[in-house]
Amino acid sequence: MPYVIAGPCIDVMDRSCVDECPVDCIYEGARKLYISPVECIDCGACEPVCPVEAISQDRAVDPDQETHVEDNARFFDEILPGRDEPLGSPGGAMGIGAVGVDTEMVAKHEADG
Protein backbone atom coordinates (compact mmCIF):
# COMPACT_ATOMS: atom_id res chain seq x y z
CA MET A 1 0.00 0.00 0.00
CA PRO A 2 1.63 3.20 -1.09
CA TYR A 3 1.16 6.40 0.78
CA VAL A 4 -0.83 9.29 -0.70
CA ILE A 5 -1.04 12.99 -0.06
CA ALA A 6 -4.55 14.38 0.37
CA GLY A 7 -6.22 17.77 0.24
CA PRO A 8 -4.66 19.45 3.29
CA CYS A 9 -1.42 19.76 1.26
CA ILE A 10 -3.04 21.96 -1.39
CA ASP A 11 -1.47 25.42 -1.29
CA VAL A 12 0.71 24.41 1.69
CA MET A 13 3.42 22.08 0.29
CA ASP A 14 5.60 22.16 3.43
CA ARG A 15 8.05 19.67 1.84
CA SER A 16 9.17 18.13 5.15
CA CYS A 17 8.05 14.82 3.68
CA VAL A 18 10.40 15.28 0.72
CA ASP A 19 13.38 15.57 3.07
CA GLU A 20 12.37 12.36 4.88
CA CYS A 21 11.63 10.17 1.85
CA PRO A 22 14.50 7.70 1.36
CA VAL A 23 13.54 6.88 -2.25
CA ASP A 24 12.77 10.38 -3.60
CA CYS A 25 9.22 9.45 -4.67
CA ILE A 26 7.43 12.69 -3.71
CA TYR A 27 6.86 14.95 -6.71
CA GLU A 28 5.94 18.62 -6.75
CA GLY A 29 2.98 19.95 -8.67
CA ALA A 30 1.99 23.62 -8.75
CA ARG A 31 -0.21 23.54 -5.63
CA LYS A 32 0.30 20.08 -4.09
CA LEU A 33 2.79 17.26 -3.64
CA TYR A 34 2.16 13.75 -5.00
CA ILE A 35 3.63 10.36 -4.03
CA SER A 36 4.45 7.96 -6.85
CA PRO A 37 2.47 4.78 -6.15
CA VAL A 38 5.05 2.76 -8.10
CA GLU A 39 8.14 4.20 -6.42
CA CYS A 40 6.81 4.39 -2.83
CA ILE A 41 8.26 1.61 -0.65
CA ASP A 42 5.70 1.98 2.17
CA CYS A 43 8.29 2.96 4.74
CA GLY A 44 6.03 5.61 6.29
CA ALA A 45 8.85 8.09 6.95
CA CYS A 46 6.84 10.88 5.32
CA GLU A 47 3.66 10.53 7.35
CA PRO A 48 4.74 11.74 10.82
CA VAL A 49 6.59 14.82 9.53
CA CYS A 50 3.63 16.26 7.60
CA PRO A 51 2.52 19.33 9.58
CA VAL A 52 -1.00 19.29 8.09
CA GLU A 53 -1.50 15.51 8.41
CA ALA A 54 -2.15 15.14 4.67
CA ILE A 55 -0.26 11.85 4.28
CA SER A 56 -1.59 8.36 4.94
CA GLN A 57 -1.60 4.90 3.43
CA ASP A 58 -3.89 4.72 0.42
CA ARG A 59 -6.39 2.46 2.16
CA ALA A 60 -6.35 4.49 5.39
CA VAL A 61 -7.27 7.87 3.92
CA ASP A 62 -10.04 9.77 5.71
CA PRO A 63 -13.34 9.09 3.92
CA ASP A 64 -13.73 12.75 2.96
CA GLN A 65 -10.32 12.63 1.25
CA GLU A 66 -10.71 9.34 -0.69
CA THR A 67 -10.85 11.12 -4.06
CA HIS A 68 -7.19 11.97 -3.55
CA VAL A 69 -6.16 8.30 -3.78
CA GLU A 70 -7.19 8.06 -7.43
CA ASP A 71 -6.16 11.64 -8.12
CA ASN A 72 -2.67 10.94 -6.80
CA ALA A 73 -2.34 8.10 -9.33
CA ARG A 74 -3.70 10.33 -12.12
CA PHE A 75 -0.77 12.70 -11.58
CA PHE A 76 1.52 9.96 -12.85
CA ASP A 77 -0.77 8.09 -15.26
CA GLU A 78 -2.52 10.84 -17.24
CA ILE A 79 -1.14 13.56 -19.48
CA LEU A 80 -0.96 16.73 -17.40
CA PRO A 81 -1.53 20.19 -18.90
CA GLY A 82 1.44 21.37 -20.93
CA ARG A 83 3.02 17.91 -21.13
CA ASP A 84 3.20 15.56 -24.13
CA GLU A 85 3.03 12.30 -22.20
CA PRO A 86 2.23 10.98 -18.74
CA LEU A 87 4.88 11.48 -16.06
CA GLY A 88 4.92 7.73 -15.41
CA SER A 89 7.63 6.54 -13.06
CA PRO A 90 10.64 8.77 -13.70
CA GLY A 91 12.72 7.19 -10.94
CA GLY A 92 13.09 10.12 -8.58
CA ALA A 93 11.71 13.59 -8.13
CA MET A 94 15.06 15.33 -7.78
CA GLY A 95 16.02 14.27 -11.28
CA ILE A 96 13.10 16.06 -12.91
CA GLY A 97 12.53 18.90 -10.44
CA ALA A 98 9.18 20.56 -9.88
CA VAL A 99 6.60 19.39 -12.41
CA GLY A 100 4.80 22.70 -11.97
CA VAL A 101 1.29 21.52 -12.88
CA ASP A 102 -1.42 19.61 -11.06
CA THR A 103 -4.19 17.21 -11.86
CA GLU A 104 -7.44 18.81 -12.94
CA MET A 105 -9.00 18.11 -9.53
CA VAL A 106 -6.27 19.97 -7.64
CA ALA A 107 -5.99 22.77 -10.19
CA LYS A 108 -9.71 23.47 -9.87
CA HIS A 109 -9.75 23.22 -6.07
CA GLU A 110 -10.89 26.52 -4.58
CA ALA A 111 -8.38 28.16 -2.30
CA ASP A 112 -9.27 28.31 1.38
CA GLY A 113 -10.06 31.66 2.82
d(CA 3, CA 99): 19
Predicted confidence (pLDDT) per residue in 44-86, tens digit: 999 999 999 999 999 999 999 999 999 999 999 999 999 999 9
Q: Within 10 Å of residue 94's Cβ, how many Cβ atoms? A: 10
Q: Is residue 73 part of a domain?
A: yes
pTM of the model: 0.93
Q: Is residue 85 part of a domain?
A: yes
Q: Is residue 72 part of a domain?
A: yes
Q: Provide CB contacts within 8 A for 101, sequence distance 6+.
A: 29, 30, 80, 81, 82, 83, 107
pLDDT at residue 110, as a whole number: 84
Q: Give the CATH number for residue 100.
A: 3.30.70.20
Q: Is residue 113 part of a domain?
A: no
Predicted confidence (pLDDT) per residue in 4-57, tens digit: 999 999 999 999 999 999 999 999 999 999 999 999 999 999 999 999 999 999
State how many domains the chain has.
1
Q: Is residue 103 part of a domain?
A: yes
Q: Is residue 92 part of a domain?
A: yes
Q: Is residue 112 part of a domain?
A: no
Q: Which domain holds residue 80?
A: 3-107
